[in-house]
Every structure is written in C-alpha cells, then in structure tokens.
Chains A and B, each alone.
Chain A
Amino acid sequence: MPPTAPLNGADLAWMMTSTALVLLMIPALGFFYGGMVGTKNVLNTILMSFATLAYCLVAWAVVGYSLAFSPGTVVIGDLRWAFLRGVDLTASHPLGPSIPHVIYMAFQATFAIITTALVSGAIVSRMRIKAYLLFITLWIIAVYGPIAHWVWGGGWLGKLGALDFAGGTVVHVNAGLAALAAALVLGNRTNYGRQAFLPGNVPYTLLGAGVLWFGWFGFNGGSAVASNQFAALAFANTFLAPGACAVVWSLLDLLRTGKVTAIGVASGIVVGLVVITPASGFVPPIWGLVMGAIGALPSYYVILWRARTRIDESLDVFAAHGVGGATGAILTGVFAVKAWNGLQDGLIAGNPNQVLIQVVSVFAAAAYSFIATFALLKIVGALTPLRASVHEEALGMDPTQHGEEAYTTGEGAILVLHDGGTEAKA
C-alpha cells in the first residue's frame, strides 16, 4: 500500500454514490432517445447509449482519462496515467484531494461516457453499428479528452478563469456541436422532409427524463468532489431549475398550440438540467430558479426553427444541449455570487468580465467540438461506410444492424437447431 493521504469518509461515500447516479443517466438517456424513434429503430437507439458504457468506458480507462486529467500542457494531458498506471487508492491533488484517485477517475469516466452518448441523438435510424462503435471509441479520446482538459484538467480555459461547475461547456456545448457536425456528415434520413418521423413510445421518453433528473443529482452534486456546502448548493439548484424550465416550456406550448405536450414537459426538464449544470455550484438558489425559467426560451425556439430547416439533427441534441449549455454557461457569468461559491462573482455581483470569459469558453468548446467531430467522422467514413443502405433503413436498424426486434410476435419464426442443421417450427 502507498502511504495514505487524509481521506474523508463522507466525501468518499458521496462520490461513490454520485458516480453510480451518473452511470444510471446513460441507460436513462437511451430510453429518453429510444422513445422518440420508431419501433424498428428503438433497440438501436437505446443500444447507442449502452454501447458507450462498454466501448467508451474502456477507451477512457486505457488512455482517455490520462489525456484529459494528467497535468501535461495547457492543451492536452500526457500519458502518465495511461492504462490506469498510478491511479491508486491515495488522493490525487488537486483533482480530488480527499478521495482515492480511482474514484475520481470513475466519476469523470461517467461524464465522458454520457457526453458521447448524447451525440447519438443526432444520427438515429441511419448509422451502421460498426462505424458507430469506432466513432464513439475515438470521439471520447480525441474530442472529449482535450475539452475536459482545457476546463478541468489544468488547461487554458480553467487558467483563464472559466466557470463550469459540472459541464456546461465540456459536456453540453461539446455534445451539441458534435451532434450538429455528425448530422451534417451523416446526412438526413431517407424521406426526411417528405415523411413524418413520429415517436414510437412517448412513455419511454418520460421515464428517461425522470431517471435523468434523478441521476443528475450525482452529476451536479458530485461535481463538488466533496460532501460539502457546495455539493448542497448544486443539489438544491438541480432540484429547482428543471421545475422552472418545465413550467416555462409547458406554458410556451400552451400559448402556441393550446395544449401541454408530454414530450414538451420531458424536454423542459432536461433543458432545465442542462442550463443549470455549469452554474449549479456557483449561483444562489433563487437565481437557479430564474436560470431554469430563462433557459427554456432559446432551446424552445431553436427546436421550432430546426424542424423547419433541411438539417436532420434528429432528436435536437444541438437545441437542447448545445444551445442550453451555452445559455447556462453564459448565465453562470451573470448570476455567480462569491458569497455563495467562495470563488468568483458574476455580472450582477459587479464582475462583468466573467461574462466575457464564459463567452470565450463557449466558443472555444463549440469550435473545437464541431471541427474535430466533423474531421473524425470523415476519417471513420474513409475506413468503413457510415450510412446503412436505403434498403436497410427502410427495414429499420434493429433487424439489419442487430438481428433483433424490440417487440417480437414469434409468428413465422423457425427455430434453427444447431445439431445437424435440422429445423423445427417454433
């Protein structure tokens, strides 16, 4: 055993809990997205999230974590922690001074994994699984790693003073712009704009939104990397902002169409969570509530606008996460109060410069994510075709990419026996 640093039991308990909570958000996201696609693509869509739990998790442990969080330069970390060498049971300064390094690595892994899974919403129902698996494995290393390093791993945006409590730029702006790039490279679903693509299971989407909210307490609360008053502030804001956002979202629905939609309430909750993410440990609860309410507006109208464009960014990852994340990151610079966060004031507390720093961090993350994702998909596409054929798309990704269906009847299924190739009716 290496010499033990002064670990804190309460911090450790909360960080292990938070890690498990964020992990649960990944299947929840699968259901949130899965409910919004047709029944021939639901397994594929949910699996796109689950696959990140396998491929991205391994890529993170092997090299991603080291590149994102080891000291290195201000642009990228080095390989000192590759293959988890040196990631042990002692505390790692300054990342997680009171918890074992392995838990900090695991906690950060869940962030990297869910960010990758978020991107999948842009390209549902048309991507070949082989290309997708290669894409996500490389994306977490080449796109997530550097941006996480810039903000949290000792990189230039962190040094500049950018405030990002739990990932407004690193997770949400990043995922949103990557989603836009992916939708542009992959191209539209066949018949997009001619044919309506309706959600196959709206209850899944509501279930997903509910579980996402539950997991998000670990996402934001855990980003204090301690069980302290900042975790409590983040927890309270995670409780307040989504409610306010869902109120505004459903009222906008009500004014526009006279009806409150279920997908609208689910989207309002998720966007509220996105908006409060960068601010959760920095703003007083009343501003958390206000941020949730204001945060509904840009995403709501970008979703309406996007549906009228020719861009099939299918499940509006850009509007919800890119726009919501940018709104949250910039509003963090407006509403931060040093008396609450012990770190930095924002505009209303007399520090307008913070807004400028936040804007720089949003644009830096957005630009790198868009360009790097675009290039990465072009490279993957040169190695293996990205798109399923028109015929496969017509049959759905579930039977063509996975050889399975979500809702089988068994009618017409003939059992294939392996002893001598005889067949019997099922």
Chain B
Amino acid sequence: MKLIVAIVRPDKVNDVLEALYREKVQGLSLSRVQGHGGELDRVETYRGTTVKVELTEKARFEIGVSEHFVERTVKAIMTAARTGEVGDGKVFVLPVEKVYRIRTGEQDTAAVTPVGVE
C-alpha cells in the first residue's frame, strides 16, 4: 500500500476529482492548505502599505491505495492538475506500514479496497 499526497492548485480540485472518479479511485481526503513552492510572490497594496504575499492557497489530497492503483492514481493527478505554469504542485508517494478500516477491523489492502470491489 501507498499513501499518495498531492498538493495542487485549488482551482484544479474539480478536475482532479473528476479524473480520480474516472479511474475509480474512491477513498480520499481533501484539505485546504497554504504553502510556498517556486511561485513568484504576489504583491498587494493596502493604502500606503505594500506587501509581498509568500504563501499561496493550495489543496492537499491524501489517498491511500493498494499497489496496483498507485500508477493510475498518480497519472490521473499529474494530468488533471497540470497547467504548465510554475505552481502546479507536487505528488508524493509514501510507503504505508499498516492500514485498518475502523468499522470492520479489515487490514491493509482489504482496508483500502472500497466496499463491493474485489
């Protein structure tokens, strides 16, 4: 099993969700985060005060998948979240030691396989 963590543009969230849905990737978490990658600073002015805003709004997906789902999940995110401009984000693939489904006590691959899918 792997945990896929993807940081993407907030306006690409719908595209990513759509792509994941098409690949039948079902279990995921989404959170709003602020971060800084290689993007240029945004300049804002309020009366006489000028500021450079370093942190940009991003969306963070966390998806636990079994091995044969890793590649297609990553590919779906890479395609859907890409604009070609600096600031498109990152995809991290992390090893996972153990997964439990709370309701049934199922473990590992069974725990990340949606109900009704073999």
Contact = CB atoms under 8 A, between A and B. Distances in A.
A414 B41 contact: yes
A395 B87 CA distance: 12
* Shortest 7 CB-CB contacts between residues of A and residues of B: A412-B55, A394-B11, A412-B54, A413-B51, A416-B50, A414-B52, A403-B44
Contacts of A403: 42-45
Interface residues of A, number: 20
> How many B residues are at the interface, by size bracket?
20 to 34
A195 interface: yes
Nearest to B36: A412
B67 interface: no
B9 A405 contact: no
A411 interface: yes
A407 to B, nearest CB: 12
B interface: dominant SS: strand
Contacts of A194: 14
Nearest to A414: B52
Contacts of A395: 11
B59 to A, nearest CB: 12
A408 B115 CA distance: 42
B96 interface: no
B34 interface: yes
A414 B85 CA distance: 23
B14 A191 contact: yes
Contacts of B9: 394
A415 B34 contact: no
A415 B46 contact: no
A418 B50 CA distance: 9
B37 to A, nearest CB: 12
A92 B15 CA distance: 61
B51 A405 contact: no
A344 B47 CA distance: 54
A169 B66 CA distance: 64
A405 B34 contact: no
A404 B45 contact: yes
B53 interface: yes
- Max count, chain A CB within 10 A of own CB: residue among B11, B14, B46, B52: B11
A416 B11 contact: no
A399 interface: yes
